Each structure stands twice: as structure tokens, then as C-alpha cells.
Structure 1
């Protein structure tokens, strides 16, 4: 993965209030610090908050969920320790609707379908394998997809997640012969130049855990020829 250093000058904030901040993650950014030592998106958001509100001392920011490093799209952070467990509860209870868009190599057998698998993660190669039946240490994974558009050489799919497993979309689509463009780990034949994959967290809907108002957020697509071809 090519190294991308985020900074607050190029941070794209999609939504912000006193409790929550939602940003558009670029390919290559990591949401939370890891063994690479690369600067995580969470630190960039903290710097943004510190500067914008002239906050002294350390800034609190809770990581609610993650996106894979080569994936793009919206990420939610909690701005207070009070709201973090409430957001966590929304995710655990499946009260957040998450919609992804993916560009895949082959046409799925059905125009729309639900995929149910049992995923088992291998920590050695950081990869999940999809099985049709439950195996030891596997977790049930459910997603729903539909074809949005046929491109010259690819297909644009819309995916709604019912569960949130490790590499779930990547693994389940690969399992039906539809690897995501650029995703070498899950069977695509070549990488994208920027080491991204064409998987984008596009849309999210939930009831605000404090304001109790419906929140609907969509994020712009990355700028490249393939995404541009989806909506010329």
C-alpha cells in the first residue's frame, strides 16, 4: 500500500456537530494507528478539532468503526466519551444502514441477491475466507447487493451490509467470482496504480444518538476514470 499522509488541510468533513464528526476517507489512509506507524486519520481529525475550536490540551476522539486501508468513503468518529458507547450500540444492534458501492470484474449470476457466508479470518495473511457452511472460528456474514450499472469492462454494485465482518464485502464478492477492481488479495488480476480498491463507503443512515433526529449522509466518489464512467 502506497503511503498517504493525511493532514487537516485536505480533510473532507461531511458532517459535524457537538457529538459526531463524519469524514471522507481517502485510499491509503488508516483510520486508527497500527504497526506501520503511519499517521492515522483519527490523529488528523483531532488536529482539525483542536485548531478549529482552539482547544487546549488533548482532544478526545472515539473510533466507532474502521474502513480497510485501500477503501474509500465515510467514517464516523465520536467527539465525546458520552456518545461513543451510544454509537457503538447502534452498530452492534444493526440500527445503522451502511451502503457501499463496488466496481467488480464479472457480472454476478443474479441482478440482485443476498449473500450468506461464514467468514474465517487468518491473522497471518490478514485475509478472510468465505465458507458456505459454518466452520470452526467462523462468523456469519450477510450482505445484500444489486447491480446498478454495466460499464464497458466492469459492473457497479450497490451493497448493503447486515453484518460487519473483517473484509466482508471483499471476501464475499470474491467468493461468487466478482473480485473488486484492484483487490489483488481477493482475486483481481492487477492492482490499481495508487494501491486503492474500487470499494467506497457511499451512504449511511441512522438516528442521532443524542438529538434523536434522522441523519442521512452521502459521500462523493473518488476522482478517477472508472468512477467517473459510472455517472458521466
Structure 2
């Protein structure tokens, strides 16, 4: 696995997948996905890279970028079509009931505080959000969930689990009591599966769980 250093953040970036059209990297928690020219310059060896999606700054996970504008357009369309399978892992202190299930809410984003509120029924200016989850493992105090996103709304996973009384560990913005040792939210984009727009091959990219989570018995 190739590892690149990002001097502006004193962090390493691991390349998880790369071909002549796409590159997928492990974005550590703490690095923003907004247009970060230092990061994109580090990743790109020649041509500019084009982000296909974003991850919250305090969330770790797989970040997929295109090497051409045309591929960015094709992958963005694929992303919006629902043909990209997106799985996350999350740690909560309050296990959801039942242990496996689905969540459906209607989300409203506040521009004032960049926060989302989840409602049980449609309200004005709301967008429907759906996900499936499975409880994988529990320690004495914490619970590891696998989350399959059906929609891709802003702060969706964070807002939906907070709405059922299971905020993600470290996510003080959505109701968790305190921050984690490294300031991260215990949420990771762990898996992407999609048909390659050019080669038609089925691409599967996976990322192991963060080592820090093991200290929580997971």
C-alpha cells in the first residue's frame, strides 16, 4: 500500500485503489474534504484530481477522486443513481433497538450552525433519509454498528442515530457527552462497491477499522 505524507496536516494518506481513471485514499479524521489544494497536490502526480464526494472533517474513511473531469461527471451520476454501495462503521454508547433494522427520517439542515435535525414525518424543506444498520459487536460500554446508507444526506448518519438516542461516540454536536482522545467522531466510511464506468469491472474498496477503536473493546 502506497503512503503519501501531507505536510500541512502532519498526517499520512494511504492509497487504497488506483487506476488511470480513479484514485481512492484513506482520509484520516481531521483532514477536511473541502477544496484542499495542499492535499490534492500531494495526491496528484500530474493532472488535477476531482473529488466525487466528501467526508466530514472529523470522520475517517474512503475518499474517492477522479483523474479527469469526465470521470468525475460519470462517477457523480453513478453516485446519485444509487448504484454505489456505501457502508460505514460507527460506535455508539447506547445500542439501538432492535439490534438490526432500518431508520427513516426527514432531515432539515440549518445554515446557521451547519447542523441537521431529524424528524419522524415530512416537514417543510425536509429531505427523506434512509439507512439500514446491524449491531456487530458490543463491549462493556460501547457498541459497533455497520451502517448501509440508502441515501446520502448531509450529516445523515450522525443526525439519525442522535434522533433515536444513540449519538455516535465523540459527536458532541449531535448530543454525545464528550470528545474522543484524538478529537475524531467514531464514524468511518469503510466500504465502497460500484461498477467502474469505463472498464465495467465491479470495484470493491475496503478499509480496516481504526486502531483507536480497539481500546474501546471493539
With the shorter chain as reference, the TM-score category is: over 0.9
SS at match of 1:146: strand
Deviation (angstroms), 1:195: 1.5
Matches within 5 A, 1:87-102: 87-102=75-90
Cα distance in 2 for residues equivalent to 1:105 and 1:178: 7
Provide closer, same or farther for how the CA distance between residues 207 and 225 of structure 1 changes in structure 2, counting only shifts above 3 A.
closer
How far did 1:43 drift? 3.7
* Offset from partner CA, 1:51-96 (integer Å, 9 cap, x none): xxxx3xxx32111100111100101001111211110011110100
Which is strand-richer, 1 or 2? Answer: 2
Identify unmatched segments of 5+ residues in structure 1.
34-39
Q: Do the aligned residues in 1 keep the contact of 2:55 with 2:63 (CA within 8 Å)?
A: yes
Shift in Å, 1:48: 3.1
Give yes or no for contact 2:13–2:28 (8 Å, CA) kept in 1.
Answer: no
CA contact (8 A) 1:5 1:29 kept: no
- Residues 106 and 136 from structure 1, CA distance in 2 versus in 1: closer, same or farther, beyond 3 angstroms? same
Q: Is the 8 A contact 1:72 1:199 kept in 2?
A: yes
* Root-mean-square deviation over aligned CA pairs: 1.7
| 2:181 is equivalent to residue 193 of structure 1 | yes
Is 1:213 aligned with 2:201? Answer: yes
Counterpart contact for 2:142–2:216, Cα < 8 Å:
no
Q: TM-score, normalised by structure 1?
A: 0.87
> Pick from 89, 93, 101: which aligns with 1:113?
101
Is 1:28 aligned to residue 30 of structure 2? yes
Aligned residue number for residue 168 of structure 1: 156
Aligned residue in 1 for 2:57: 69
Equivalent-residue separation in structure 2 for 1:228 and 1:193 (angstroms):
11
Runs ≥4 residues deviating over 6 A: none
Q: Aligned with 2:104: secondary structure?
A: strand
Tell whether 2:115 aligns with 1:104.
no
Give the number of aligned pairs. Answer: 212
Partner SS state of residue 153, structure 1: coil
Counterparts of 2:181 and 2:188, CA distance in 1: 17
Aligned to 1:155: 143
Q: TM-score, normalised by structure 2?
A: 0.92
